[in-house]
Amino acid sequence: MSGMRLLVAIELPDAIKYRLAALCSGLHGAKWTDPAQMHLTLRFVGEVDAPVAGDIADALGQVFAPRFELELAGIGDFTARGRPQVLWVGVRLNAALATLQGKVEAAVRRAGIAPEPRKFHPHVTLARFDRGGGWTNFVRYVTAHEPFAAGPFAVDEFVLFRSVLGSEGATHHVEVTYPLTYARDAAE
């Protein structure tokens, strides 16, 4: 295998994916994310060769962090040139999530990957847009679905995914699952 596209993420419980799936309609120009593929990205790595993928997997195995609870809250978007590009559900940021993300970033960098230049903005992608989606429809959609909240839910592991791009979007395959520890174990 010459290369693979990797990302590090938190898988979502089925009950949360079910809640998110209920949001996935009614917006012109949206390419909806398959609920089975929904996750919270801690670090997008990108395309790497097999030896580097092994280094990343090993470095992530040295990440020790406590289990925690997470809650999804709010709907928002990333825009480019004045148009929505990505529709997302936000995450109530908490110290444990920020700590885990920082440790994942440090591990990936130790494996030789360049630092992530963008600030961490935790979210779950609901849809991506082609050029046709208009602001009027978008604002109406967000207004109809706010306020949105789901959870809290337990986060007791994170995952290294291999991401395969296809005509229907990306499909994520678990490469390695890393358990989080109980709080007292993480301190040791």
Answer yes or no: are the C-beta atoms of 8 and 160 closer than 8 Å.
yes
Catalytic residue selected from 121, 123, 145, 173? 123
Number of other CB atoms surrounding residue 125 within 10 Å: 20
The closest of 26, 76, 39, 65 to 159, measured between CA atoms, is 39
Separation of alpha carbons 156 and 180, rounded Å: 5
What one-character-per-residue DSSP string does 37-89 give? G-EEEEEEEEEE-HHHHHHHHHHHTT---B-EEEEEEEEEEEEETTEEEEEEE
- SS percent in the chain: helix, strand, coil, step 5: 30, 45, 30
Whether the Cβ atoms of residue 152 and residue 38 lie closer than 8 Å to each other:
no
Written as one letter, the residue type at 64 is F
The two three-digit tokens of residue 76, written as one number? 């928002």
Among residues 39, 121, 172, 173, the one annotated as catalytic is 39
173 catalytic per annotation = no
Fill in the amino acid letter for 144.
A
Residues classed as catalytic: 39, 123
